[in-house]
Amino acid sequence: MTKREAQKQLVAGLKVEWTSLWCERFNDKVRAEGVSLADYQKLKVNRGTIIHATRSCKTLYFKEILKDNLVENPDRYIQPASCEGGWNKFIKTQITSISAPRKCAESYVPVKPKGAQTKKGGRGWLHSH
């Protein structure tokens, strides 16, 4: 097994524990915190560790966990932050801007049905006078 395949397996195992950590957390509504319910050895998170809080608390980042486990180039395994943009932003800026704009939607004018003339000029029953 090559080093790259070993790292992929390590990252896959870490992702499984990462998702279970966030799915199985206890949300303390009084303190507005998310607390881990179990020990996660690969993530180095103990039971009762605050993993998410609205107050000043060091939050967990998957990128830091990958660096702690000595994964080379951890940016390759995680998506970029939403402020930096991800695949959706790439598609919007690169792919859709290059393709020709669709003229079908711009030139479409809905056909208004021509029917009988409305009574009292189309005004409702309340303001008929």
The pLDDT score that the predictor gives to residue 120 is 67
The pLDDT score that the predictor gives to residue 55 is 76
How far is C-alpha 89 from the chain's CA centre?
Answer: 12
Tell me how far apart the terminal alpha carbons of the chain are, to the nearest angstrom: 88
| Residue corresponding to tokens 């009574």 | 119
For residue 31, the SS3 value is coil
The pLDDT score that the predictor gives to residue 61 is 83
User: Tell me, what amino acid is at 57?
Assistant: C
Residue 113 tokens read as 């049905």
The pLDDT score that the predictor gives to residue 91 is 78
pTM: 0.57
The pLDDT score that the predictor gives to residue 39 is 92
The pLDDT score that the predictor gives to residue 83 is 65
Query: In Å, what is the CA distance from 9 to each residue of 70, 73, 78?
Result: 13, 15, 14
The pLDDT score that the predictor gives to residue 98 is 65
Alpha carbon distance 46, 33 (integer Å): 15
Spell out the alpha helix ranges (H) of the chain.
Answer: 3-23, 62-68, 87-90, 96-98, 104-107
Residues of the chain with pLDDT under 50: none
The pLDDT score that the predictor gives to residue 129 is 56
- Do 17 and 42 meet the contact criterion of CB atoms below 8 Å apart? yes
Phi, then psi, of 39 in degrees rounded to 5:
-85, 135
